[in-house]
Chain A
Amino acid sequence: MSDAILEVRHLKKYFTTPAGALHAVDDVSFTIEKGKTLGVVGESGCGKSTLGRTVLRLLPVTEGQVIYKGQDISNLSERKLKPYRRNMQIIFQDPYSSLNPRMSIRQIIAEPMIINKVCKSRADLEKRVRTLMDTVGLSQRFIDAYPHELDGGRRQRIGIARVLALEPDFIVCDEPVSALDVSIQAQILNLLMDLQDELGIAYMFITHDLSVVKHISDEIMVMYMGNCLEVAPSDELFRNPVHPYTKALLSAVFLPEVGCVGNIPEVIRGEVSSPINPKPGCRFAPRCNYVCDACKEPQKLKEISPGHFVACCTVGANGEIGS
Chain B
Amino acid sequence: MSEILLNVDDLSIVYKTSAGEVRAVNNVSFAIEKGKTLGLVGETGAGKTTTALGILRLLPVRTAEYRSGTIEFEGQNLLALSDKEMYGIRGRKISMVFQDPMTALNPIMTVNDQIAEAIRFHSDGTLKREEVDKRVNDILELVGIPASRKKEYPHQFSGGMKQRIVIAIALVCEPALLIADEPTSALDVTMQAQVLAMIMELKKKINTSMLMISHDLGVIARTCDDVAVMYAGEIIEMAPTDMIFTGNRHHPYTVGLMNSLPGVSGNAKRLRPIEGMMPDPTDLPAGCKFAPRCPFCEERCKTELPPCTEQNGHLVRCHRFA
Contacts and interface: CB of A to CB of B under 8 A. Distances in A.
A261 interface: yes
Interface stretch (A70-78, A250-258, A300-308): A250-258
A252 B193 CA distance: 6
Interface in B269-285: 269-274, 277
B200 interface: yes
Given A208-B188, A214-B262, A182 B215 contact: yes
Interface in A236-276: 238, 248-269, 271-272
Which of B200, B221, B246 has the largest number of chain A CB atoms within 10 A? Answer: B221
Interface string B239-260: 0011001100000000011111
Interface in B223-248: 223-225, 241-242, 245-246
Contact of B189 (A181, A208, A272): A208
B193 A267 contact: yes
Contacts of B192: 252, 254
B interface, size bucket: 35 or more
A101 B241 CA distance: 42
Nearest to B224: A261
B143 to A, nearest CB: 14
Interface in B181-209: 188-194, 196-197, 200
B161 interface: yes
Interface string A217-247: 0000000000000000000001000000000
A183 interface: yes
A134 to B, nearest CB: 16
Contacts of B191: 43, 271
B312 to A, nearest CB: 16
Interface string A161-187: 000000000000000000001111111
A153 B222 contact: no
Nearest to A188: B273
A252 B242 contact: no
A260 B194 CA distance: 16
Nearest to A272: B158
Contacts of A272: 158
B260 A268 contact: no
Given A190-B271, A254-B222, A262-B222, A214 B264 contact: yes
A69 B193 CA distance: 42
B188 A187 contact: no
A174 B222 CA distance: 29
Contacts of A261: 221-225, 241-242
B262 A186 contact: yes
A254 B200 CA distance: 15
B219 interface: yes
Contact of A183 (B245, B256, B265): B256
Contact of A211 (B158, B219, B221, B263): B263
Contact of B257 (A182, A252, A254, A267): A182
B261 interface: yes
A116 interface: no
A189 interface: yes
Contacts of B294: none
B196 A256 contact: no
8 contacts: A183-B260, A184-B277, A186-B260, A216-B262, A252-B193, A254-B192, A264-B200, A264-B223
Interface of A: 43-44, 151-153, 181-187, 189-190, 193, 208, 210-212, 214-216, 238, 248-269, 271-272
Interface of B: 43-44, 158-161, 188-194, 196-197, 200, 215-225, 241-242, 245-246, 256-265, 269-274, 277
Given A187-B273, A263-B222, 13 more contacts: A43-B191, A44-B188, A181-B43, A182-B261, A249-B190, A254-B216, A254-B218, A256-B258, A256-B261, A264-B197, A267-B194, A271-B158, A271-B160
> 9 closest Cβ contacts across the A-B interface?
A254-B218, A186-B273, A215-B262, A256-B217, A186-B260, A43-B188, A186-B271, A181-B43, A252-B193
